Amino acid sequence: MAAIQDVPRLVLQAILASQSPQALPQQRKEAVAFLEQFKCADVTSVFSTCATLISLQQLAQLYGSLLQPTEVVGVRLAAYQLIIDAVRNRWRELSPEQRVAVTQLALQQFREAASPAQEPAATSSGGFPERGKAAELLAVVVRQRGASAYAEVLPQLIAGAAAGPVQ
């Protein structure tokens, strides 16, 4: 019963199995089926699990022993895609407070991905694909929230761009 409560671990294992070249076709098929079921789970669980898996700090802290360094990027990209799909398809199921939390998560992940301090480490850990997914997540959230979100996020993005490196 304890394993059922650790949903992020189950999703992590399914992502790893679906991406592993050593996995048998049946294992990959079961992993993909699990991920499809997960997408239909309670929306709060989907968002909190994906938030855990896209956060580099939480991923390393909770599941670092399960992951090879080369697997971290693939797991994060898969988690980004899961949360992007959830925002696109299940946004209406979120409460207003949850929508604000998802917006803040998207903005935070975008800032971290685009941060100049992340650049040296990012090049060895999939920086550009992760930046693209963080930008896509933010764009999908803003699209779902509408013009008010755009007006709210734009000044923060401009301030972040102004604080970036001089080129």
Give the separation between CA 85 and CA 41, rounded to whole angstroms: 13
pTM: 0.86
Q: Is 90 inside a domain boundary?
A: yes
Q: Is 27 inside a domain boundary?
A: yes
Instruction: Write out the residue range of the structural domain in which residue 23 sits.
Output: 2-162
Q: Is 72 inside a domain boundary?
A: yes
Q: Is 91 inside a domain boundary?
A: yes
Q: How confident is the model at residue 107 (pLDDT cuts 50, 70, 90)?
A: very high
Q: Where are the alpha helices (DSSP H) in the chain?
A: 2-5, 7-19, 25-39, 43-54, 56-63, 69-90, 96-114, 119-124, 127-145, 147-162
Domains contained in the chain, number: 1
Residue 127 · residue 70 · CB < 8 Å: no
Taking only Cα atoms into account, the Rg of the chain, rounded to an integer number of angstroms, comes to: 16
Q: Is 167 inside a domain boundary?
A: no
Residue carrying the six token digits 């001089």: 166
Give the separation between CA 133 and CA 81, rounded to whole angstroms: 7
Q: Distances in Å between the alpha carbon of 119 and those of 54, 64, 95, 125, 158?
A: 17, 21, 35, 10, 19
58-81 as b/e, with b when 16 or more CB fall inside 10 Å? ebeebbeeeeeeebbbbbbbbbbb
Q: Is 61 inside a domain boundary?
A: yes
Which has the closest alpha carbon to 12: 58, 125, 21? 58
Q: Is 64 inside a domain boundary?
A: yes
- Condensed to tens digits (0 to 9), the pLDDT of residues 5-46 reads 689 999 999 999 999 999 999 999 999 999 999 999 999 999
- Condensed to tens digits (0 to 9), the pLDDT of residues 108-121 reads 999 888 876 654 44
Which has the closest alpha carbon to 19: 72, 83, 55? 72
Q: Is 73 inside a domain boundary?
A: yes
Residue 89 · residue 47 · CB < 8 Å: no
